[in-house]
Structure 1
């Protein structure tokens, strides 16, 4: 019996050990890739949260400008109307 003979129990055991090693290496590579994807997803979530916070702060600091502009325009129109009538 040779080592490549499928009836040889030693050959079968060696081939199973090689397959086991290949599977372990493949699973380790897949785990590494999944861990990298999770890390990138976490970074993306953090960036999205940061952008949301920045956008919210810009929106909150901007709303008085529109109100002030509307009040100034209304006051200007009232003054102009008052001057025209008097």
Structure 2
């Protein structure tokens, strides 16, 4: 027969092993959730970058339209000044 001390140590080691296994399983689950959230955030950032690039491409006519409006206003003013 084994002495009671070694049996107690073996039982305690088995309990410790179960606690460590449970801790690792919990940690693994949390890491999986964090990885999924990170992937979601990365895809959201990529979508936002694409939206910003589309807005930048569509923004270029605004200064040209402002210049044409100013030139049109100047032409109308000169035409009215000459016509009077």
Deviation at 1:73? 1.8
Residue ranges of structure 2 left out of the alignment (5+ in a row): none
Q: Find the aligned partners of 1:18 and 1:70 in 2 and give their Cα distance.
A: 79
Q: Which residue of 2 aligns with 1:35?
A: 32
Residue deviations 1:10-65, cap 9 Å, x none?
11111101100110110110111011111101111110110111121012112213
TM-score, normalised relative to structure 1: 0.79
Greater relative contact order (Cα 8 A, min sep 6): structure 1 or 2? Answer: 1
Runs of 4+ aligned residues of structure 1 deviating over 6 Å after TM superposition are none
| TM-score normalised according to structure 2 size | 0.80
Q: How many residues are treated as equivalent by the alignment?
A: 81
Cα RMSD, aligned residues only: 1.9
